[in-house]
Structure 1
Amino acid sequence: DMNDIPPVFTTVPRPITLDDDVPIGTTVINLVAQDSDGTSPNNQ
């Protein structure tokens, strides 16, 4: 399978603002995408 179908975000990416003192490793935003390519590694 070729990597011919680009991933599609199922959540809408949006601008965010962070404070300067946010600790390293803090989850800032969770995004979900779906890739319809048929087989690995192109569907990951």
Structure 2
Amino acid sequence: MLLHNRYASMMAHIFPFSLVAWYYESVLNARFRHSNYGLQANH
């Protein structure tokens, strides 16, 4: 967990916030099963 916090802190200082937010949002969306909660997008 410590390594992850150091990595996240480093990313937040080097890259713009929008890029960091996009990255973490895509990682979390890949791990989150939206259909379990009725949040499946209608594309």
* Structure 1 length-normalised TM: 0.31
Return the structure number with greater strand share.
1
Between 1 and 2, higher relative CO (CA 8 Å, sep ≥ 6) is seen in: 1
**Structure with the greater alpha carbon radius of gyration:** 1
* Structure 2 length-normalised TM: 0.31
